[in-house]
Amino acid sequence: MKSAFFIGLAAVAGLLAAGCATPNLPPVDTSAAGWNVRFGQAVWHPRPEAPELAGELMLATNATGDFVLQFSKPPLDLVVAQRSGPRWTVAFPSEGRRYGGRGRGTHRLLWLHLADALGGRSLPGAVAFAPLRGDGWSLSNPKTGETLEGYLAP
């Protein structure tokens, strides 16, 4: 009798844990027709008290607003973000953190808004975008102090 109780309790705990996990979006073939892939450099300042991180940036976008983004300091991916239809994910592999959801995504994750900013689409009220000299740009959230500056080759 006790073993049946513990088996049932373990099954419920497993379902709850699985329900809280952020699902992975399917991989995207950015070499397929309709994808525009750009490479560049960026400097990310996640919080005012945190150090800046410089790295390589890859942004692949399509006409429907889907994107795949990688910010890395080889050999490590620091940020991997993706939007496919109404779903999005942002992962910080070196920290073991992953977030996901539906819709535009939170203003607290600037990575979700870079493709929209560069595409001239509207941004959440807490996110500011400014073009810089040449192919440069700046994306920031004044509420959190997070900034992202960089450039992407055309």
Per-residue pLDDT reduced to its tens digit, 54-102: 999 999 999 999 999 999 999 999 999 999 999 999 999 999 999 999 9
The pLDDT, as a whole number, for residue 42 is: 98
Phi (first) and psi of residue 20, to 5 degrees? -90, -10
Residue 5 to residues 10, 16, 52, 144, Cα–Cα distance (Å): 9, 17, 51, 46
Please report whether residue 102 resides in a domain. Answer: yes
The answer to whether residue 117 sits within a structural domain is: yes
* Encoded tokens for 112: 């979700």
Per-residue model confidence (pLDDT) at position 59: 97
CA distances 71 to 6, 10, 17, 45, 68, Å, are 44, 38, 29, 13, 10
pLDDT of 16-54, one tens digit each? 333 345 567 778 878 888 999 999 999 999 999 999 999
Bridge partners (DSSP) listed for residue 151: 41, 136
Q: Considering the domain boundaries, does residue 7 fall inside one?
A: no
In a domain, 3, yes or no: no
pTM: 0.81
Confidence of residue 13 (pLDDT cuts 50, 70, 90): very low
pLDDT tens by residue, 98-122:
999 999 888 889 999 999 999 999 9
* Distance from C-alpha of 8 to C-alpha of 106, rounded to nearest angstrom: 36
pLDDT for position 57: 98
In this prediction, residue 10 carries a pLDDT of 39
Structural domain includes residue 13: no
Residue predicted with more confidence, 140 or 3: 140
* Domain span at 114: 34-152
Instruction: Identify the CATH number of the domain in which residue 94 sits.
Output: 2.50.20.10
Q: Any idea what DSSP says for residue 63?
A: T
Please check whether residue 126 lies inside any domain of the structure. Answer: yes
Q: What letters, b where the CB count within 10 A reaches 16 and e where it falls short, cover 89-115?
A: bbbbeeeeeebbeeebbebebbbbbbb
Give domain status of residue 73, yes or no: yes
- Report the pLDDT value the prediction gives residue 24, as an integer from 0 to 100: 75
Specify if 114 maps to a domain: yes
Q: Residue 108 and residue 126: Cα distance in Å, rounded?
A: 8
Report the domain count for the chain.
1
